[in-house]
Amino acid sequence: FRFEELTQYVNSHEEEFIETLRQWIAVESDSSDVTKRSDLHRMMDMTAEKLRLIGGSVEMVDIGTQELANGSSIALPKVVTARFGEDPSKRTVCVYGHVDVQPAKKEDGWATDPYELTDIDGNLYGRGASDNKAPVLAWIHTVEVYRALNIDLPVNVKFIIEGMEETGSNGLDDMIVAQKDSFFSDVDYIIISDCVWLSKRPALTYGTRGNCYFFAEVEGPKKDLHSGVYGGTIMEPMTDLIGILDKLISPSGKILIPGVREAVAHLSDEEWKMYQDIEFDLESYKREIGLSQLMYSNKVDLLAHRWRHPTVTIHGIEGAFSSPGTKTVIPAKVIAKFSIRQVPNMDPAVVEKQVTDYLHSVFAKRKSPNKLNVTMVIGAKPWLADPKHPLFEAGKAAVKRVFGVEPDLIREGGTIPIARSFQDVTGKSIIMLPIGGFDDGLHSQNEKISRYNYMEGTKLFIAYLHEVSQIKEH
């Protein structure tokens, strides 16, 4: 295995790899904003072009349309698939990633333009830098490096890159069902690099939470009203909405929806021990997010509530006044957006009914003439793997080779909606191999990835392909 040569190539091409990331960051591929859809299509084209340029057999798969709330529909971004090598004597891995991003505006509090890659002290700032453009590029560069040096890839490599992950991977489930016996037929393992380390120590991830995302709409008068002229005479939609939202979760984090907590798998002794053995400093965690107090003061409880307990988050209210300054209005219709992270053994279909029934019963007690409508717009299941699987042993060996340490075995509080479907539909084993830093600020202001993580992460992927080729039949 000519690892030295391969890593030398990475070192000497660092600026070129960063330049490609700069071009990718410049594309505002926000999947949640339909006005940015042409940018998202362009992002998929650029991804396909890059894979073609390094010699892949590339396809852009049409996955249909997205229905919008106003009844119209728009095209979903095509899914990019690629293949490098078809040697039946070799293992085949499939790398999944996404090139869409969360929304970002400079006014949200970014120190730099979110769509202009900015290098400050070795950190590369930009929306999507860590989630998930640099990791996708690191995988593409991995193949590029082997091919540039005329070194045979130790395994066949496939890619499946989508553009709707941040909004729940619309259309991808159907595509993998349709391609189960074609694209996926020769795939042995699926690799996902769409998460981050827990600390400065590299990590392998064996679980993600799912997510049920809800809209709760309260509709009252036929138009917005002057709060001085009409206030006091009507039951206001916003007051109703805040009233029912306040019944979702207690201040100490207890979910109040009947049945939700009861479904959660119990923490086993083995799990407790694994969490206890992980090096994780609550003080640095507090410093990173700028808080003096957390919900839990011991490591095991904190990690358990980050990874394997459900939680409710209220994200925002559409239709509510939110600009700077004052406006004395009664909004006529408001839509709350909240989500409940899912863990084993919760079932999104059950949670949908529990939440809908509960909110309607709480609302009924208010005796309001306004109308409540609750809908679940994303229902993603959690994913959990066996960290003793040979894929994880290969991960440990690759981390050891590149970083000289043992990785942490961790779970991830976020959601990769398609992970569970990959497992259920294709039956293939999955590993998550993160390269992002613990403080990369995913979905937040000033998202970044460090040059170090981007380059050493590429070396990790190079080593990982070798280690996977060494896995004995199991």
Ligand X SMILES: NCC(=O)N[C@@H](Cc1c[nH]cn1)C(=O)O
> CA 285 to CA 241: how far, in whole Å?
33
* Residue 408 is assigned to a ligand binding site: no
Distances (CA, A) of 405 to 44, 202, 203, 423, 434: 36, 8, 10, 29, 15
414 binds ligand X, rule: CB under 6 A? yes
User: Could you say which of 29, 47, 118, 132 contacts Zn ion (CB under 5 A)?
Assistant: 132
> Within 43-72, which residues bind ligand X (CB under 6 A)?
none
Cβ-Cβ contacts under 8 Å for 165 (sequence gap 6 or more): 31, 98, 100, 132, 194, 416, 417, 418
Distances (CA, A) of 172 to 134, 164, 165, 169: 22, 8, 9, 6
In contact, 432 and 195? CB cutoff 8 Å: yes
Measured from the CB of residue 111, what is the shortest distance to Zn ion in angstroms? 20
Mark whether 119 is an active-site residue: no
Site map (CB under 5 A) of Zn ion, residues 175-204, x = contact: -------------------x----------
Q: Which is nearer to ligand X, 123 or 339 (CB)?
A: 339
* 378 interacts with, out of Zn ion, ligand X, none, CB within 5 to 8 A per kind: ligand X
Q: Which is nearer to ligand X, 101 or 255 (CB)?
A: 101
213 binds ligand X, rule: CB under 6 A? yes
Measured from the CB of residue 130, what is the shortest distance to ligand X in angstroms? 9
> CA 312 to CA 257: how far, in whole Å?
10
Cα 250 off chain centre by: 26
123 binds ligand X, rule: CB under 6 A? no
Inter-axis angle of helices 3-12 and 451-469, nearest 10: 150
* Residue 98 is assigned to a ligand binding site: yes
* Residue 131 is assigned to a ligand binding site: yes
131 binds Zn ion, rule: CB under 5 A? yes
Strand partners, 97: 161
Mark whether 217 is an active-site residue: no
> CA 235 to CA 243: how far, in whole Å?
12
> CA 81 to CA 84: how far, in whole Å?
11
> CA 299 to CA 155: how far, in whole Å?
39
> CA 110 to CA 26: how far, in whole Å?
15
Strand partners, 432: 192, 205
> How does DSSP classify residue 298?
S
131 binds ligand X, rule: CB under 6 A? yes
* 146 interacts with, out of Zn ion, ligand X, none, CB within 5 to 8 A per kind: none
* 207 interacts with, out of ligand X, Zn ion, none, CB within 5 to 8 A per kind: none
* Helix extents (H) in 54-133: none
In contact, 44 and 31? CB cutoff 8 Å: no
Structure tokens at 28: 């505002």
Q: Which is nearer to ligand X, 248 or 463 (CB)?
A: 248
Measured from the CB of residue 394, what is the shortest distance to ligand X in angstroms? 23
User: Could you say which of 168, 220, 379, 395 contacts ligand X (CB under 6 A)?
Assistant: 168
* 211 interacts with, out of ligand X, Zn ion, none, CB within 5 to 8 A per kind: ligand X
100 binds Zn ion, rule: CB under 5 A? no
Which residue of the set 30, 144, 165, 439 is catalytic?
A: 165
* 100 interacts with, out of ligand X, Zn ion, none, CB within 5 to 8 A per kind: none
Measured from the CB of residue 7, what is the shortest distance to ligand X in angstroms? 27
Structure tokens at 249: 């979760």
28 binds Zn ion, rule: CB under 5 A? no
In contact, 468 and 395? CB cutoff 8 Å: no
415 binds ligand X, rule: CB under 6 A? yes
Q: Which is nearer to ligand X, 166 or 236 (CB)?
A: 166
User: Could you say which of 138, 416, 430, 463 contacts ligand X (CB under 6 A)?
Assistant: 416
Residue set of the binding site for Mn(2+)? 98, 131, 166, 194, 443
Q: Among all residues, which ones are annotated catalytic?
A: 100, 165
List interacting residues with ligand X (CB under 6 A). Answer: 131-132, 166, 168, 194, 211, 213, 339, 378, 380, 414-417, 442
List interacting residues with Zn ion (CB under 5 A). Answer: 131-132, 194
